[in-house]
Amino acid sequence: MSTAKEVIAARYQEQERLVLALYKQDKRGDEMRAALGVSRGTLSNITKRLGIRLRTTWVSTDQIRCRTCFEAKHRDEFYKTTSGHEYSRCKRCCGKRFTTGLNTAPERFFKYKISEIKAAAKRKSVPFTITHLDLAERYAAQRGLCFYTDDTLELRQHTKGGDNFRSVLSVDKVVPSGGYVPGNVVLCTHLANTVKNDLTLAQIAAWLPGWYERIQKFELEDFVDATAKLAG
């Protein structure tokens, strides 16, 4: 008598043996799924266990069928791996997947944002102690609106060129030299951050009095809070 665990292990082994044999025959993913009678997810688990990457579906010598949108596109429409092979999902679908994920999962977006800021802080040698939770907290406190303009913040990747990213969320250091530390960070639109640039508080007070008023209010409410937290 074999236990349930042994039965599953045997089934796994059998599936892996079949997939490996088909892989060596240059079979595509859809052909493997038909042969094994398994779902896309199951096949993906098997290939992961085996450490193999399924071949991209070539329609002709320079046309690939994207595994997500199923459109046949020129090979230039696909990103390449470091070893020079085209991905099985087209550029458009890769991009969509990334941005959709960020929009529907703020936590993922804030983690991504933190990784971006961390690199910038290192480059500019400014203090950096905030976490994605600080960003999430700020976002909630600002009710998803720009700190300076009250415009709705868009949670998406800020890509260069073409795209309009003026209302995309940007992390602003209230006092630029103060760095990315809790109490010195607010969220604003990319446009507002571009306008503010690296202005000192004195310059903001003189040129953007409305924004200065908001900063003063923020410092009273939050900065005191943060310093109290640091002190004890």
Residues making contact with Zn ion (CB under 5 A): 66, 68-69, 90, 93
In the complex with Zn ion, which residue's Cβ is closer, 66 or 215? Answer: 66
The CB-of-30 to Zn ion minimum distance in angstroms stands at 15
The residues, any chain, with a CB within 8 Å of residue 209's CB and separated by 6 or more, are none
DSSP code for 223 = I
Q: Could you tell me the sign of the dihedral formed by the alpha carbons of 62, 66, 71, 73, in that order? A: negative
- Nearest approach in angstroms of CB 77 to Zn ion is 8
Half-sphere exposure (Cβ direction) of 107: Cα atoms closer than 13 Å: 1
* Closer CB to Zn ion, 63 or 142, in the complex: 63
| 93 vs 181, beta carbon nearer Zn ion | 93
| Shortest Cβ 174–Zn ion spacing (Å) | 42
Q: Give the shortest CB-86-to-Zn ion separation in angstroms.
A: 12
- Nearest-angstrom CA–CA distance, 142 and 153: 10
Please, which residue, 78 or 110, has the CB nearer to Zn ion?
78
Residue number of the CB closest to Zn ion reads: 66
Closest approach of Zn ion to the CB of residue 35, in Å: 25
Minimum CB distance to Zn ion, residue 69 (Å): 3
Of residues 67 and 190, the one with the C-beta less far from Zn ion: 67
The number of angstroms, rounded, from the C-alpha of 13 to the middle of its chain's C-alpha atoms is 35
Measured from the CB atom, the residue of 95 and 176 that comes closer to Zn ion is 95
106-124 and 132-141 are packed helices; what angle lies between their axes, rounded to 10 degrees?
120
| Residue 226, CA distances (Å) to 11, 117, 134, 187, 215 in order | 56, 20, 11, 16, 15
- Give the full edge-to-edge strand order of the sheet including 63-65: 57-58, 63-65, 72-74
